[in-house]
Amino acid sequence: MREISIAKVITAKRKEKGITQDKLAEYVGVSKASVSKWETAQSYPDITLLPQLATYFNISIDELIGYLPQMTKKDIKKTYQRLAEDFSNKPFDDVLDQCRAIIKKYFSCFPLLLQIAKLYVNHFVLATERGKQEELLQEAIDLCVRIKKESDDIWIAKQANSLEVLCHIILNQPLEVAALSSKFDNIYNLSDEEAKSTSVLGKYVRAYYLKEMGEHPSANYLKELNRPIFILQGEKDFHVSVEKDFNGYKRILGDRTNVTYKLYLNLNHAFMPFVYGEIRKAKKEYKVAQHVDQQVINDIADWIHSVSE
């Protein structure tokens, strides 16, 4: 996340549109002096003017103020490496203050929060007092709990759950470990209605989803199926893995003659051209208006005709 840079954005966007400060001031309903102060960072526009300015420049309010609440994968990796090195070479409390400041700044960047929690687990022994070690592990647990509760990334939530278990093991808290483990064991004892209303991983994953998968393993079902099967996947699908899922089906079914496989390059989970290719940007990707790739439609139609003949 960068610092708020609305001054630079207003200046750049005004010049892109080829208008003067007078013209912008007239549109917004303020004085030229006000616009000048905005662009020189002497003051900020009134909050009620932000929607009007964003609409005028055809950008979001986040873009207008230069606000980016997410850190890129590359920056997350660099941040982890830098902090890990700092833990080895600098005063422990100083580095811990850095970590806490980063958490506060990127409070909704769950991939980063997961890495900070891992950083804590990997370096808590550097704290000179047992109390501080326990405090740091508890902070890691708190981060994991928040990730599981608010992230819509199933994979990150799973990693957070595993890391939370590890923290409780280190803290010698067997009851907490058992509670986290039994949370998943008890899924199969829930009624369908209870499972549908019980969250287990992230904001949107309900126990029913995992219960259904566990009670009806696709591998067992496919092994017993003698009818024609068409297994297709987008190569840029970030919900499932080419190696674990697509190739996994190949390993399960082998060279059976009733199975057809097709992997589509550069297509996402919805068999549309990928836009971002990252799970954390799934919502943004699926808001882009697109159509299912025509080749996928043709292949499905051809396959149906071939097995119907």
**pTM exceeds cut of 0.75:** no
Final residue of a structural domain among 15, 39, 64:
64
Q: What are the tens digits of pLDDT across the range 257-280?
A: 899 999 999 999 999 999 987 765
For residues 95 and 87, is the Cβ–Cβ distance under 8 A? Answer: yes
Domain residue limits at 34: 6-64
Tell whether 90 and 113 lie within a shared domain.
yes
Between residues 137 and 3, which one has the greater pLDDT?
A: 137
How many whole angstroms separate alpha carbon 138 and alpha carbon 121?
10
Flag whether 197 is in a domain. Answer: no
Flag whether 196 is in a domain. Answer: no
Nearest to 15 by CA among 34, 39, 32: 39
Instruction: Write out the H or E segment, with its range, that includes residue 279.
Output: none
Per-residue tokens: 84: 């890990």
Q: Cα angle at 139 between 136 and 144, to 5 degrees?
A: 130
Q: What are the tens digits of pLDDT across the range 132-177?
A: 999 999 999 999 999 988 887 878 888 898 899 889 988 888 788 8
Tell whether 101 and 57 lie within a shared domain.
no
Tell whether 113 and 168 lie within a shared domain.
yes
Q: Kindly give the pairing relationship between strand 259-264 and strand 205-206.
A: unpaired
Between residues 149 and 214, which one has the greater pLDDT?
A: 149
Number of separate domains in the chain = 3
Flag whether 152 is in a domain. Answer: yes
Flag whether 209 is in a domain. Answer: no
Q: What are the tens digits of pLDDT across the range 16-35?
A: 989 999 999 999 999 999 99
Flag whether 203 is in a domain. Answer: no
